[in-house]
Amino acid sequence: MLIDQILLQIFYKLNNERTINAAYHLLRGKRSGQTIQDVGLFKLYPYFGILRKLAKPSFDDGVSRLVDRDLLKVEESGYFTVTSAGHDELKKLEIPFYDGWHYRGNEHVFFARLSLIIQTLSYQTAGHKYFLPVQRDEQTQAWCRGFLMDTQFHRQTLQEPLYEEMLSTLENAHLSEQQRQLVLNRLSGAHVAGVAWQQMSVQWQLPELDCQLLFISALHSWLEEIRQQQPFYLSKMTGDIRVENVLTGSAYQTAQLYMQGYTLEQISHMRQLKMSTIEDHIVELAMNEPHFDIRFFVKEADELAVQEATQTYMTKKLKVLREVLPHLSYFQIRLALARGEE
Amino acid sequence: MLESMLKQHFGYDTFRPGQKEIISSLLEGKDCIALLPTGMGKSLCYQLPGYLLPHPVLVISPLLSLMQDQVDQLKMRGEKRVIALNSFLSMREKQDVLSFLSHYRFIFTSPEMLMQPQVRHAIEQMTFSLIVADEAHCISQWGFDFRPDYLRIGEIQWKKPRPPVLALTATATGSVVQDIVQYLKMDAPYRFIHDVNRSNIKLAKVMFAQKEEKITWLLEHVSATAGPGIVYCSSRKKCEEISLKMLERGIVAASYHGGKDAEDRQFIQQQFLQGELEWIVATNAFGMGVHKENVRQVIHESMPANISNYMQEVGRAGRDGQQALAILLYADGDEHFAHYIATEDLPKQHHVEQFVYYIETGQQPEQMLQNAEISETGFRVLSYWLQQEPPSAVKQRLTKMMQEKDTEVGRMLALILQEHCMRERLVQYFGQNLSLQEGACCTNCGLRIKDFLLERQQGKTVNVEDWRKRLRKLLFGAP
Ligand SMILES: [Zn+2]
């Protein structure tokens, strides 16, 4: 199962240094400092928030399957080890593309818009003005109404260019034929009913959750292609979908002040926040902004020393690294780790 | 002439049973209780007056999905002056709507919304032509869908003279009708009760000693006989399990329940309406707002919790007037599960103590909800009554409600076990008499299932087109 592969990959990257539940929070895209930092520290960007509604039992089932197959050992404390069989399995993984970090569930917002617009155009072609909208969410409906007004859809000239755009982007995106089919199966219109998850699951002999995971991956790949090609109508639908400013609200404010030239002490004073919090923000900035220069805080030699230590001791545990490199502060070690290679 | 108005506004030539009488009495200014099954033109009873009377019609509907459904249907018919005043509106939108309220022809709202001071104030200033309480059985604590907020409708000070009130309900027993009249403060209402008997639906039951035998029988049955049909199950898990087994046998089936995402539910509904599915395997979440005329079979895999539910679900068969069959499968002991389902949502005695404890210790009783210690319905019922009565009285009330549910399950069981004509007993339950006795009208009268069903046509499959073709079909229609 795809979910098992993804879980194994996450557990491997977490390097036995977190409990099982860290993976659960990651998949659900929990917006806590810990989870966000884990994303950067363990380079888990692809999987952040790809299953926002993942139920705990489904997650637990996946973990149990890994344990049953001897790929994973879980201790009572919740800590775990990827077994040697697990490491062998890692080489065989076939996980499709994800960019959870930048889409964060917004891919569903895009698809909700698209499905309502396609449905409207479909009924327009069929000559029906009224139909049961496939999206009941008022916000989505309002957005689509605006889009259709702006594009003068009443002239019935939207169908042709949108068809061209969808065909071209779907064909060029890195997608399997199955994924393209999946995307179209989830659209509906006049005389064309959508296909339910259970139905695809039976047809393809795949668990429902895997179908959903393939769908999410398809949306991420497709959105990337739309970003590259920038076709007129699809770009309008996706303009605000990708999260460009990935920092949390508070970290963003700190980052703004830092860019304006204030020191960490000044920011701490201005924002009435503890120094440790401001340091958290800077670490978050370093993790998420590849061009951020950490030299002001960490010398190149020290950065290399941290990276060497992680290799030698096979760990990213701060406590261990601090013991090995006592002349560096936790803050400096974290910054160096943030810059670490994948 | 009402008929010409009907033709002009709705395009129909004739009224369905009851509609004309109900509308006439409303136009005369009389209150009215209408017992009409869903799909039998309930909504026309207030929609036509909406075009004939000068002021807006206020429709109070306790179920959000149902409200949205009716709004959508009106919009589909091209009516623009319709609004749903519900919790989905933002603060701004709500204020906008409230200040233009009198511009609408149809205003839909929920009991909860109506009790918001701002909304209530606006409503009490307004002149309406008609007030409609949809799903009025929800006002009765004996109803299976009790909504405490519905009781408070009686507190509203309508602008004098108060317009007529129309209470609509699909099924209700005598005690429920009494509650409706009392709580809605209705004035000697005209009562229309539809003929409960649907003679084109044959009633069958099949008895089993073991639960497992039901599934085996069901699978054989659906492999051999023609749909389209609905199988009603009591749990989501059962729906999944049975639909999968049907699919494995090459039967085009789909499951439908509240645990599916909204898109899936709509996809399956559309497939069913378009005739692409042989069977829908569903919980009682399926059916409301679904208007399919040619359902040939309704099968109850699990025993319904009361006769009203049974009647309502059976009534989804044969809306086209053609022959249809309802089959109830019963295995020894099914009533225990029916009882469990019926009382699952009811608050229990210990919930009362817990609620009181939270209040006394200065905590929020809503924690019970967050900790999933009580259902939402249960919490609503509990918090309403604890505001009205001391805990001891609430406990007594809960015991009584539990007994009532018990009695309902017992009545359903008796209907299954007894040996007289099922149709006659069913009709009597709703206080009516069978007008015409037919031959093989039910299992107890000698009906044989096989005589009434068409053979299943083999080779039906779900046909999903290649994605490119599908995209073309969506945007440009059939090739
Ligand atoms: Zn009979």
pLDDT digits 0-9 by tens, A153-209: 888 899 999 999 999 999 999 999 999 999 999 999 999 999 999 999 999 999 999
**Amino acid B25: pLDDT:** 94
Contacts of A195 in chain B (CB under 8 A): 267, 462, 464
Q: For A230, which DSSP code?
A: -
Contact pairs from chain A to chain B, CB under 8 Å: 106
**Pick from B418, B354, B424, B343: nearest CA to B377:** B343
- Written as six digits, the tokens of B175 are 């005690």
User: In terms of DSSP H, where are the helices of B304-348?
Assistant: 307-314, 334-343
Q: Is residue A84 part of a domain?
A: yes
Same domain, A286 and A220: no
Low-confidence spans in chain B with pLDDT less than 50 = 144
Q: Is residue A147 part of a domain?
A: yes
Same domain, A65 and A90: yes
**Pick from B405, B314, B369: nearest CA to B38:** B314
- Amino acid in the structure at residue B290: V
- Structural element, H or E, at residue B202: strand B201-208
Mean pLDDT, residues A276-294 taken together: 83
Helix, strand, coil percentages (3-state) for chain B, rounded to 5, are: 45, 15, 40
Q: Is there a contact between B470 and A115 if contact means CB atoms under 8 Å apart?
A: no
**Pick from B326, B279, B323: nearest CA to B304:** B326
Q: Is there a contact between B477 and A125 if contact means CB atoms under 8 Å apart?
A: yes
Q: For B365, which DSSP code?
A: T
Cis ω before B228 (30° cut-off from 0): yes
d(CA B479, CA B471): 11
**Cα A233 from chain centre:** 24
Please measure the distance between the N-terminal and C-terminal CA atoms of chain B and give it in whole angstroms: 46
**Amino acid B289: pLDDT:** 67
Distance (Å) from CA B295 to ligand 1 centroid: 21
Distance (Å) from CA A144 to ligand 1 centroid: 54
Query: Which of A186, A205, A238 is the last residue in one of the domains?
Result: A238
**Amino acid B144: pLDDT:** 47
d(CA A17, CA A332): 20
**Amino acid A40: pLDDT:** 81
Contacts of B260 in chain A (CB under 8 A): 196-197
Of how many residues is chain B composed?
479
Query: Which of A238, A266, A293 is the last residue in one of the domains?
Result: A238
d(CA B358, CA B354): 6
Q: Is A167 on the interface with B (CB under 8 A)?
A: yes
Which among B89, B262, B478 has the least Cβ separation from residue A136? B262
Nearest CA-CA distance, residue B361 and chain A, Å: 31
Distance (Å) from CA B421 to ligand 1 centroid: 4
Same domain, A85 and A142: no
d(CA B129, CA B58): 8
Q: Is residue A69 part of a domain?
A: yes
How far, in Å, are A48, A164, A340, B348 from residue B355 at the CA level? Answer: 39, 60, 53, 11
Domain that holds residue A81: 2-95
**Could you tell me which residues of chain B have a Cβ less than 8 Å from any Cβ in chain A?**
68, 72, 75-78, 88-89, 240, 243-244, 247, 254-255, 260-264, 266-268, 270-271, 274, 276, 462, 464, 466-468, 470-478
For chain A, what is the mean pLDDT?
A: 90
Nearest CA-CA distance, residue A131 and chain B, Å: 6
Which CATH number fits the domain that encloses residue A65?
Answer: 1.10.10.10
Percentage with pLDDT > 90 across chain A: 54
Q: Is B243:B281 a contact under the CB 8 Å cutoff?
A: yes
Same domain, A150 and A230: yes
Same domain, A234 and A124: yes
Which among A138, A187, A195 has the least Cβ separation from residue B88? A138
Collect all residues with Cβ–Cβ distance below 8 Å to B312 and sequence separation of at least 6: B37, B38, B170, B171, B287
Same domain, A138 and A64: no
Phi/psi of residue A276, nearest 5 degrees: -65, -35
d(CA B168, CA B34): 5
**How many domains are there within chain A?**
3
**Amino acid B141: pLDDT:** 59
Same domain, A138 and A229: yes
What SS3 state is found at B400? helix
Same domain, A113 and A227: yes
Q: Is the pLDDT of residue A312 over 60?
A: yes
Distance (Å) from CA B210 to ligand 1 centroid: 26
Same domain, A125 and A91: no
Same domain, A37 and A78: yes
d(CA A121, CA B476): 9
Nearest CA-CA distance, residue A34 and chain B, Å: 24
**Amino acid B227: pLDDT:** 85
Nearest CA-CA distance, residue A257 and chain B, Å: 34
Distance (Å) from CA B130 to ligand 1 centroid: 41
Q: Is A211 on the interface with B (CB under 8 A)?
A: no
- Amino acid in the structure at residue B88: F
- In terms of phi and psi (left: phi > 0; alpha: psi -120 to 50; beta: otherwise), the region of A261 is left
d(CA A299, CA A336): 9
Task: Pick the more confident residue, B353 or A136.
Answer: B353
Nearest CA-CA distance, residue B123 and chain A, Å: 24
Q: Is residue A192 part of a domain?
A: yes
Q: Is residue A244 part of a domain?
A: no
Which CATH number fits the domain that encloses residue A298?
Answer: 1.10.10
Q: Is there a contact between A196 and B267 if contact means CB atoms under 8 Å apart?
A: yes
Q: Is residue A101 part of a domain?
A: no
Q: Is residue A195 part of a domain?
A: yes
**Amino acid A25: pLDDT:** 94
**Cα B170 from chain centre:** 7
Q: Is B326:B314 a contact under the CB 8 Å cutoff?
A: yes
Q: Is residue A301 part of a domain?
A: yes
Of how many residues is chain A composed?
342
pTM for the full predicted model: 0.81
- Written as six digits, the tokens of B381 are 């019922």
How far, in Å, are A158, A184, B11, B19 from residue B23 at the CA level? Answer: 45, 46, 17, 6
Same domain, A49 and A140: no
Q: Is the pLDDT of residue A307 over 80?
A: yes
Query: Which of A95, A126, A147 is the last residue in one of the domains?
Result: A95
